[in-house]
Amino acid sequence: MDDLKMLRDLGRDLEHEPPASLVRQRQRLADAASGRRGALRRPGGWTLLGVVAVVTAALILVPTVLLRGSERAPAGTQKIGKTAHRTLNLLVLGSDKRGFGAPRTDTMLLVHLPADRRNAKVVSLPRDLMVPIPACKKGGQVIPARASALLNSAYTLGGVQCAIKTVESVTGIRIDQTLTIDFGGFKDMVDALGGVEVTLPQSVNDSKSGLRLSAGRHFVKGKVALAYVRARHGLGDGSDLDRVKRQQRFLAALSRRARGQVFKDPAGVAAFARVAARSIDAVPRLGLTEYQDLARSLEHTDPGEVDYSTVPCGPSPKDPNRLALTPEAAEVFARFR
């Protein structure tokens, strides 16, 4: 058999079609061409899977640690079964408050949990989607509807309620629960515990994430911890899947560390729990019991049974630098009902 032909066959199997989000790169070029500066995207964004891993871990960690801290659940949170064992649609927003101006949601995910929790569906909604935004209220003020605006502007304009209203009207899906996660809090969580141990099979020097570590075991905290979970290059095989595995390992280590420190450093663990609780904002508010129920109901969900995808979309007919939903999106949303 011809070696070049075999090589071409291999290439075809390895090939991926360009995603709709490639338009962001066109925007980067357009920004450079128009001499605009500062409009560039933030480096090393959080991946879809990373967000899910963080949510899951936070759901499990927060109640575990909080319950260790105080043995009894506070009164008034006894609505047992409200979140567990019924079909749930979650809207997960990843916000980053470290930047300037209003907090932004760079990540928007719809998570569908069937009543038996055997599997889960996760669909990401790209922030560059152009959608109609309904009229929203914020602080007694009415924000008028917009015929077409960036999906993530709903949150910036009218907060969580406006993001929920927009997603519900665009998708026709009823959102049962919204979880907003502030990634700035992640670093503080690690720091509160005094760091987490990681093992590197080889040394890393990644200019992109700023990660520089030698091979072997390290105790990482602060920016290094953040770089470790965010880095795509220089660690493992450079794939997204690899990064997700690394994030999950890190979160498992974080969880072990939290448990181990309960007796050794109660003050540190209390600080950790405070930061963790503060980093996740639930609407409607989740009581401790509900958190715990939700976390427990997910304990037996096989990570392999989680189906991740991006909502079907393509370049917007009005603006090639933006995205618009394609008709196939309706089929995806229908599976959430």
* Contact footprint for another protein (CB under 8 A): 1, 3-4, 6-11, 13-19, 21-22, 24-26, 28-30, 32-35, 232-234, 236-240, 243, 315, 320
Q: How far is the CB of 202 from another protein (least distance, A)?
A: 9
DSSP 42: P
Nearer to another protein, 78 or 205 (CB): 205
Q: How far is the CB of 152 from another protein (least distance, A)?
A: 18
- As a whole number of angstroms, the distance between CA 92 and CA 55 comes to 8
Q: How far is the CB of 103 from another protein (least distance, A)?
A: 24
Q: How far is the CB of 244 from another protein (least distance, A)?
A: 10
Nearer to another protein, 2 or 299 (CB): 2
Alpha-carbon separation of residue 25 from 104, 309, 320, 323 (angstroms): 20, 20, 11, 12
Nearer to another protein, 26 or 79 (CB): 26
- As a whole number of angstroms, the distance between CA 275 and CA 267 comes to 12
Q: How far is the CB of 11 from another protein (least distance, A)?
A: 4
Q: Would the CA dihedral through 13, 18, 20, 22 be positive or negative?
A: positive
DSSP 112: E
Q: How far is the CB of 138 from another protein (least distance, A)?
A: 34
* Cβ neighbours for 305, distance < 8 A, ≥ 6 positions apart: 118, 119, 120
State the CB neighbour count (10 A cutoff) for residue 309: 11
- As a whole number of angstroms, the distance between CA 215 and CA 202 comes to 4
Nearer to another protein, 74 or 238 (CB): 238
Q: How far is the CB of 60 from another protein (least distance, A)?
A: 27
Q: How far is the CB of 17 from another protein (least distance, A)?
A: 7
Nearer to another protein, 11 or 101 (CB): 11
Nearer to another protein, 36 or 98 (CB): 36
Nearer to another protein, 6 or 145 (CB): 6
Nearer to another protein, 211 or 275 (CB): 211
Cβ-contact 89, 174 below 8 angstroms: yes
Alpha-carbon separation of residue 113 from 18, 84, 143, 158, 304 (angstroms): 29, 10, 32, 27, 14
Cβ-contact 227, 204 below 8 angstroms: no
DSSP 143: E
Nearer to another protein, 87 or 205 (CB): 205
- As a whole number of angstroms, the distance between CA 191 and CA 256 comes to 15
Picking from 123, 133, 173, the residue whose alpha carbon sits closest to that of residue 156 is 133
- As a whole number of angstroms, the distance between CA 280 and CA 52 comes to 13
Q: How far is the CB of 269 from another protein (least distance, A)?
A: 35
- As a whole number of angstroms, the distance between CA 202 and CA 231 comes to 14
- As a whole number of angstroms, the distance between CA 139 and CA 97 comes to 20
